[in-house]
Amino acid sequence: MADIKVTVWNEFRHEKKNEQIGKLYPKGMHGAIAEGLKKAGGFTVRTATLDEPEHGLTQKVVDSTDVMLWWGHTAHGEVKDEIVQRVKTRVLEGMGLIVLHSGHFSKIFRALLGTNCSLKWREMGEKERIWVIEPSHPIAEGLGEYFELPHTEMYGERFDIPQPDRLVFVSWFQGGDVFRSGCCFERGHGRIFYFRPGHETYPVFYDENVRRVIANACRWAAPRIIKKDACPNVKEPLDPVPAEE
């Protein structure tokens, strides 16, 4: 089977501005995510970042991507609407999209879901237990009943998203909050997966379970079909239609 062509998109600002985050992710979070996918095998991985021309997402790059990953936080507003539309069109045509952590507020996620995508948050380094509530789902393959991240930022309900088509993970936090942390959606021919973990100050993208989820999600979201939008006037019917009396 041919490799799945993945483009890992990262805002890539925290790593450059904050020394500690830069030390944690010397190749950027996109570098760590790409490394995990390369180790998993079966993927051809590219990365793209905000400050590249066209945010690294030229028409050529987008058109040759099967699955795109999206990490953004402080600069959602700097992502050009034209590029958001380009990515959205490609998702509707069949490309997979994996939105990570603070990407919940990205233009692309909100455009595809149609809601505010707001949530509760708290930064105290508390523990997160991610419950696998759909163990038969392809994104949960190889995971146990749950897995834990010892220190993370908290995201809590209510998460203002449309009802997911499938909810694969629910997170519990030490402070008592819960969150729908693994949500599947379909838009047009494309599959979208939102995955909560990934705060920039913790080594989340080196975690083996997180890496497994991301690889599983890329396999699940890979296109089954790529179909350009069309709205044709089909003047010739397939079978004869008698003229009206």
Query: What are the residues binding Zn ion (CB under 5 A)?
Result: 102, 153, 199
Task: Please tell me the distance from the alpha carbon of residue 58 to that of residue 66, in angstroms, as a whole number.
Answer: 14
Of the pair 102, 181, the CB lying nearest Zn ion is at 102
Q: How far is the CB of 102 from Zn ion (least distance, A)?
A: 5
Of the pair 102, 171, the CB lying nearest Zn ion is at 102
Q: How far is the CB of 199 from Zn ion (least distance, A)?
A: 4
Angle 226-98-190 (CA atoms, 0-180°, nearest 5)? 25
Task: Please tell me the distance from the alpha carbon of residue 12 to that of residue 95, in angstroms, as a whole number.
Answer: 23
10, 28 Cβ separation under 8 angstroms: yes
Q: How far is the CB of 194 from Zn ion (least distance, A)?
A: 14
Of the pair 102, 209, the CB lying nearest Zn ion is at 102
Of the pair 6, 154, the CB lying nearest Zn ion is at 154
Q: How far is the CB of 73 from Zn ion (least distance, A)?
A: 6
User: Secondary structure of the chain: what % helix, strand, coil (to 5)?
Assistant: 35, 30, 40
Query: CA separation (Å) from 76 to 10, 79, 80, 81?
Result: 11, 6, 9, 10
Q: How far is the CB of 221 from Zn ion (least distance, A)?
A: 22
Of the pair 49, 102, the CB lying nearest Zn ion is at 102
Of the pair 66, 128, the CB lying nearest Zn ion is at 128
Phi, psi of 27, rounded to the nearest 5 degrees: -105, 15
Residue nearest to Zn ion (CB): 199
Residue 40 has which token pair?
């998993």
Q: How far is the CB of 224 from Zn ion (least distance, A)?
A: 32
Quick one: which of 167, 176, 68 has its CA closest to 129?
176
Residue 128 has which token pair?
């997160």
Q: In whole angstroms, what separates CA 5 from the centre of its chain?
A: 15
Residue 47 has which token pair?
């990365």
Residue 183 has which token pair?
């949500």
